Structure 1
Amino acid sequence: MGLRTPFFLVALVAMALVVGVELGEHLLIGGVDAGGALTGQAAAAGLQVPAGTPVDRPAGLGIPYLALVDAAALFTVALMAAGLVVPQRLHGRLQGVVTLIFAIVLLLAAIGLLALGITKLIGMVTLLLAFPFGTIAYLIGFGSFPRGTAAAVLALLMFLKFVFAGSLTIAQERFLQNKGLVLLTLTSLLCTLLVSFLHGVVPGVLASITDAVGGIVCAVAAIVWALVLLVGAIAAIVTAARASRA
């Protein structure tokens, strides 16, 4: 049975929206005056926070780092979509090169963001354990994570990802035989569930720390998939080179 193009396009748009929401997460979460909430949490913990200027609640890492994994899924489907409009012969020649470039960019971005996430996590834990002044600084800077807003964003992402998976399946049942695409989709869903779980498993004052842990896991998953794409791209380039010589 042939490809049902409308459903395939729905899947492509759904994953594009997923990546867009994740990259624009800072517009929804973070950058909000959190001074009052943080002062209240510090007081509840028996600490006194002097009055000062408003404090901006920093954006988390978990949701934007999901974009590292989902960018790989979007690229994979976009590459398939390109095959619908680009001549098959040209598409076959360019696929390996384009994938190689994307894999290198994704790998470098994931490694850089992984280092950033680890640094931020170590900094937050160090502040939290440096009682009392470090703890006060942690509460002021990171103690009020917007779990409610994050939960709403993650619910939207899960909905879009189910639309993506369902539309792909309806578009062409043989997509289920593509083990790489299936595993990549499952990785995306599991990372989203993990970030959501880490946001809710601890008290609110610790959610920034577990959110950073979720971001680190997403970065590691993206590194693994970037390496998979890199190996596949090199193999495709070698195969295309041999075919052109024959």
Structure 2
Amino acid sequence: MGELRKPFLLLAMLAIALAIGVELGAGLLTGGADAAGALRDSADALDVELGDVSGVSEPSGRGTGYLALIDAVAVWSTGLFCLSLVLPERIQGRVQGLATLIFSILLLIASVVALIVAFVELSIMVSLFLAAPFGTLAYLAVWGFFPVGDAALLLGLALLLKLAWAALLVLAQPRFLQNKGLVLLILTSLLCTVLLQFLHGLVPVILVSILDDLGALLFAVVAVVWGLVLLIGSIPAIVKAVRVTAALPARTGGSDR
């Protein structure tokens, strides 16, 4: 199948790193703009009466940022491939299991915390929206207008970078397609990005924040699953590394005699 093409692998690492950078920066790049006029138009379309909405700003949302929890696994996996370029296979095998174990634990902690935050916020959103009229007005004042256009632009850029990442991995080594875990990770990342885009366009704009938070909740659950997969997968590697390390002194002693 040919040797590993290092330039393509390094470009793949750059592409997925840029993608997760876009997702992590989404909270700073979206939201904050004045939404008073647009909020009035949306509320009128749904026959919802609003009072003074001056000073109302767009929420940044959580969905795009929560995609980074999943793509952190993509960055980690690609990073391990890149690590093979500088470390001997023997040393990499010993380090990889322990490093993956630590990473998976940190990912699980971050994902569980993020899941709880998204669930609490989603519960507050739905409760306020259904508590007409004052609860609904409070919901509209905080989450009533989502920056769908800005979010779509960022998600489109992230999706493009992820497609480039997947294509560059295949160009680097076609045998990566035989790695079922890697293929599943690529599909998961791409499908979650497309799903969030779909959710943003599914309902009127004043309800997008609810579906965005629902998407964030789902992504946190998916990240927990991937964290568990990495955690379980790291155990055999650690056991093997321990056995190899423990056997080294005996082999050395035998050769001395």
Task: Flag whether TM exceeds 0.5 (same fold).
Answer: yes
Question: For structure 1, which runs of at least 5 residues remain unmatched after alignment?
Answer: none
For 1:174, the aligned partner's letter is R
Question: For structure 2, which runs of at least 5 residues remain unmatched after alignment?
Answer: 248-257
For 2:157, the aligned partner's letter is L
For 1:118, the aligned partner's letter is F
Aligned mates of 2:53, 2:39 — CA distance in 1: 12
Q: 1:157: Cα distance to partner?
A: 1.1
Q: Which moved more, 1:116-125 or 1:28-37?
A: 28-37
1:24-173 paired onto structure 2 within 5 Å: 24-51=25-52, 54-173=55-174
Contact 2:59 2:147 in 1 (8 A): no
Contact 1:22 1:66 in 2 (8 A): yes
Aligned mates of 1:160, 1:103 — CA distance in 2: 24
Aligned mates of 1:228, 1:165 — CA distance in 2: 20
For 2:50, the aligned partner's letter is V
Q: 1:50: Cα distance to partner?
A: 3.2
For 2:241, the aligned partner's letter is A
Q: 1:183-214: CA deviations, max 9, x gaps?
A: 11110011111111111111111111111111
Question: What TM-score does the superposition give when structure 2 sets the normalisation length?
Answer: 0.92
SS for the counterpart of 1:168 is helix
Q: Which moved more, 1:53-62 or 1:169-178?
A: 53-62
Aligned mates of 1:46, 1:230 — CA distance in 2: 51
SS for the counterpart of 1:227 is helix
For 1:237, the aligned partner's letter is I
Task: Work out the number of aligned pairs and report it.
Answer: 246
Q: 1:97: Cα distance to partner?
A: 1.0
RMSD in angstroms over aligned alpha carbons? 1.4
Contact 1:42 1:136 in 2 (8 A): no
Q: 1:131-163: CA deviations, max 9, x gaps?
A: 001111111111101111111111111111110
For 1:149, the aligned partner's letter is D
SS for the counterpart of 1:228 is helix
Identical columns (%): 52
Residue 198 of structure 1: aligned partner: 199
Aligned mates of 2:139, 2:108 — CA distance in 1: 31
Question: What TM-score does the superposition give when structure 1 sets the normalisation length?
Answer: 0.96
Aligned mates of 2:198, 2:54 — CA distance in 1: 33
Q: Which moved more, 1:76-85 or 1:34-43?
A: 34-43
SS for the counterpart of 1:124 is helix
Q: 1:42: Cα distance to partner?
A: 3.3
Aligned mates of 1:74, 1:52 — CA distance in 2: 42
Contact 2:177 2:183 in 1 (8 A): yes
1:228 is the counterpart of 2:233: no
